[in-house]
Structure 1
Amino acid sequence: MTSDVPLQTVARAFEVLDLLEREREAGPAEIAELMGVNRSTAHDYLVSLEATGFVVREAGRYRIGYRFLERGSLLKYRNRFFHSSDVVLRKLSEQSDELAQLGQEEDGEWVMLHEEGDLTSVQTGTYPGFRTPIHSHAAGKVLLAHLPDERVDELLDVDELEAVTEHTVTDPDVLRTELDAINDEGYAIDREEQVVGIGFVACPVIEDGELLGSVSVACPTGRLEQDDYREDLIRNVRAAAEEIAVNYRYY
């Protein structure tokens, strides 16, 4: 997994962090077993990470510290796209009475930057920093549809794409056809490709030819099947994308 990383020690430290995230907390013996190293090596990694403040020790067990939250929040609040979008996203959620989300592409994935709305209305399992394959739902597809051709070829140069649910489009050729339609229509819709029972309507945010990200609304699939309701969502999401682009221009 880390053989092509120049500094193996750094890569292994991040492996420890990934394990702590997955396990929520662990001791040196557990980390050693999961990594296939001896206990003293695992202990050294944990103590070193504790010294940085990114890992916290409590009662002999280690967990990820809130310093990651601090850094993540700084990254978000320094983002011009976020500041151009937060009020618009809130308004979109109020207009639609649904969960509105803002995302960007990074390393072939859709990353959720911010969301607004009543989290009890739909359970998408998302949070700021949530990542998912870019092809796996509408908010990512509108980004994929507007990436340079060579980048799209790079991301889709596989026999089969990862399935997030049984409804995810995994055939690259089928997806390419869908991307052409998204380009023509200016928006994307998916039905349960990311979350069973939930659909998304999304539009790209483009300012002066620059793809900034995507804005989307999540709602129960049943409501998405209602023609008038779906058309209202498309209209509201499209207007939000245009307003964010204007805000970004003059921010």
Structure 2
Amino acid sequence: MSDRDRIQSLERGIEVLRAFGGREASLSVAEIAARTDLARPVVRRILLTFEHVGYAVATNGQWTLTPRVLELSAGYFARSSLPEIAYGFMGEVVERTGMTCNVDVLDDAVQVIHVARVEDHRPLPESVRIGNRLPGHATAVGKVLLSALPLDALEKRLRAAVLEAHTPHTITDVDELLARIALVRSRGWDVSIEELHPGQVAAAVPIIADGRTVGALAASSSTVRQTAETLRDEVVPVLRSCAAAIGTAYRNANPQLFLRGE
């Protein structure tokens, strides 16, 4: 796409919306400007526009998004039944493992995005909400999703990405990461031990429908409750069983997506 085909004001508006992706309930113009690298007057005009269409509201200089902003995600959820279908099985993962369960899909480059989540009654301190993005290279669910990419596309993405070290256990070397993802591809699951946050662990498997990876199912916990061995021996089998059921249900609900020859 050439620059002349892009609408810069629209891109800036999206950047402002994404600034609200953290844990804060509200943000000031200055805080949003700092997060987006946009000038404060630009941020202010964008927020006033969002207020005009009902997507944002200001109280004492602090801006918050309104429930109406959920309209923007309605198209995705109407098109993709994956989150809706997955919820019917995710409760079983939580019940059988005592862990928080989530479904993710590959976003852009090497990032993944949460599209469904069911919390254990003991939520993790760094819990992630639906719509939040995570670095694929530092998560089990990310490496599972990346393993579905063709090798040339995978290597191109990894070498172009900034692979941040979130903990001492994060893999940031591209060759080492490619080797790890190759292992994930061959065995069909991954376990992450403190790669994204200290004290947190996770296991993940692909959700496969008609031979195509349509998402990934993951369960996360802490090092106090789980080890690499228990994740591999006890949690991964549960995830595989539920992911298979989700994949079958998704395939049956969306036959038009799996027409032969497409």
The aligned counterpart of 2:215 is 213
Structure-1 separation of matches of 2:136 and 2:100: 19
Structure-2 separation of matches of 1:67 and 1:172: 41
Equivalent residues of 1:224, 1:230 under 8 A apart:
no
The alignment partner of 1:205 has SS state of strand
Instruction: Give the 3 Å change call, closer, same or farther, for CA 21–115 of structure 1 in structure 2.
Output: closer
The aligned counterpart of 1:150 is 152
Alpha carbon RMSD of aligned pairs, Å? 2.8
The aligned counterpart of 1:47 is 48
Equivalent residues of 1:203, 1:214 under 8 A apart:
yes
The aligned counterpart of 1:181 is 183
Q: How many residues align?
A: 247
Structure-1 separation of matches of 2:15 and 2:103: 28
Instruction: Give the 3 Å change call, closer, same or farther, for CA 44–230 of structure 1 in structure 2.
Output: closer
Instruction: Give the 3 Å change call, closer, same or farther, for CA 131–4 of structure 1 in structure 2.
Output: farther
Amino acid in structure 2 at the alignment position of 1:44: R
The alignment partner of 1:183 has SS state of helix
Q: CA deviation at 1:116?
A: 1.4
If the length of structure 2 is used for normalisation, what is the TM-score? 0.82
The aligned counterpart of 1:106 is 107
Q: Give the share of equivalent positions with the same residue, in percent.
A: 26
Equivalent residues of 1:207, 1:246 under 8 A apart:
yes
Instruction: Give the 3 Å change call, closer, same or farther, for CA 231–68 of structure 1 in structure 2.
Output: same
Structure-2 separation of matches of 1:180 and 1:165: 22
Equivalent residues of 1:20, 1:62 under 8 A apart:
no
Unaligned runs of 5+ in 1: none
The aligned counterpart of 2:129 is 127
Amino acid in structure 2 at the alignment position of 1:244: I
Deviation readout 1:70-116 (Å, 9 max, x if unpaired): 43366336522112211111111101111111111111311111111
Structure-2 separation of matches of 1:228 and 1:248: 29
The alignment partner of 1:157 has SS state of helix
Q: CA deviation at 1:236?
A: 0.6
The answer on 1:237 being equivalent to 2:233 is no
The alignment partner of 1:56 has SS state of strand
If the length of structure 1 is used for normalisation, what is the TM-score? 0.85
Equivalent residues of 1:110, 1:132 under 8 A apart:
yes
Unaligned runs of 5+ in 2: 254-262
The answer on 1:56 being equivalent to 2:92 is no
